[in-house]
A and B are shown apart, each in its own frame.
Chain A
């Protein structure tokens, strides 16, 4: 199930606000199941500034490569080194240990442009 406290994009990324402006970004369970075995991730370097829905990185499975877009604008605070070393974690735990990037949100109202879990469930036809 898609966690209730998360927000979602049409490109199948999720956003979770940890505190104040600090958030985590990942891809949804639906996305990982469609991609299949994930083998490589290219994530931005710390300090990179991104605008809402800009490309954040690339995710590569055995047979496809997709862009990852950022759900909100902000500054990259950190990337998850464990998924870079073992991308399979994104498949096994997309909402937990499989997070990708920690971001400082620069424009909080942008979060309203994202889908709630109910909206996302409907979006993917659950």
Chain B
């Protein structure tokens, strides 16, 4: 077997095989069953480059794209406007291919960008310390739960039933691996006991409406547990940041800050907490310091929490993050600024409320919840939501998320600043005929 992309020569390989006491490469792989060793892969004949580009273009055109379709789907991945400056800056080769900046002296640009990201996220959430980002919102919520178990030395985790069900599933997976236990709690429940490490709440919740956070802060702190809040970062342009109502750990999906929805990824796990818990925090942290000549410099800090030092006792064994997505989020926040972010949040809020009130005027559609909401709301339909979505789809509209398995005949609709009044009116017009 001679493959041009393997740099070892025939004699290199013979020497290595001899060293480990094997005669041939075939013998090396003998543990793999014979039938899996020689799989017949039937590939089409090779193409020329122009033919290949044409083929890929054809395949890509089979996908829908949101420039041609109107979208009212959210439920965790959101379409917001992405300023052009983001693509331009993150596409620079210094950022685009940067790897983990262990070697601070050659990584100042990447480190400074991460530090700026952390600073912006702290300001946005009103919390004291941020890491450089985790994989996505659901894994960030799971890491927060494990962190709460470490801090409180307790093994039970409570999650409110109104949290995104996808997040609850990921939580279950993480917690099972740690021999901790997860309980789903009814809203307003009084069943919290003092063996819980934390209470996890989403604000606004999966169904789009706001929870009474004061109630849950009190409930968690009364039993010595931590309050973990999952937020929509865009909503913080308008609503009270979790640092102000006493959250201990705040996590979020950061995709909506300057990143496309793609196929549901890549995401960005925003993770912030109170300074007291800094040493139990998972992931990388970048700090600002002063070098020998008195200049400001940036460096990874508190690395003893991490797996390259603490091994299996690390605060997390997933140390890869989403630096490029985090960078996009940082540029997004910097480009919009305080007033810009507030403007985006207000546009989402007012457009979503316009859509909700127009739909609620229809005879056969009803808003399911009366509580205040941000940009998502649940609507009960006269026919199955999947049928509604088929009809909308024929009109080039991607409808809401069918949640009829959770609430009868209901759909979760999302409206952002990118939905125009014309689009909303068209949606209402189609629904009126059903």
Interface residues of A (CB under 8 A from B): 40, 60-65
Residues of B within 8 A of A65 (CB): 304, 309-310, 313
**Chain A: which residue is nearest B279 at the CB level?**
A40
- A51 and B279 CA atoms in complex are apart in Å by 26
- A61 and B303 CA atoms in complex are apart in Å by 11
Restricting to B288-320, which residues have a CB under 8 Å from any CB of A?
A: 304, 309-310, 313
Tell me how many residues of B have a C-beta within 8 Å of chain A. 5
> In the bound complex, do residue A64 and residue B309 qualify as a contact, i.e. CB atoms below 8 Å apart?
yes
A-B contact count (CB 8 A): 13
**Chain B: which residue is nearest A58 at the CB level?**
B313
Residues of B within 8 A of A63 (CB): 304, 309
5 smallest CB-CB distances across A and B, nearest first, come from A65-B304, A60-B304, A65-B310, A65-B309, A64-B309
Residues of A within 8 A of B310 (CB): 65
Tell me the dominant secondary structure on chain B's binding face.
Answer: helix
- A65 and B379 CA atoms in complex are apart in Å by 53
- A65 and B279 CA atoms in complex are apart in Å by 12
Extra pairs beyond A62-B304, A65-B309, A65-B310 (10, CB < 8 Å): A40-B279, A40-B304, A60-B304, A61-B304, A63-B304, A63-B309, A64-B304, A64-B309, A65-B304, A65-B313
13 contacts between A and B (CB under 8 A): A40-B279, A40-B304, A60-B304, A61-B304, A62-B304, A63-B304, A63-B309, A64-B304, A64-B309, A65-B304, A65-B309, A65-B310, A65-B313
- A62 and B301 CA atoms in complex are apart in Å by 10
- A10 and B335 CA atoms in complex are apart in Å by 58
- A64 and B313 CA atoms in complex are apart in Å by 12
CB distance from A76 to the nearest CB of B (A): 14
- A40 and B310 CA atoms in complex are apart in Å by 14
- A11 and B304 CA atoms in complex are apart in Å by 20
Residues of A within 8 A of B279 (CB): 40
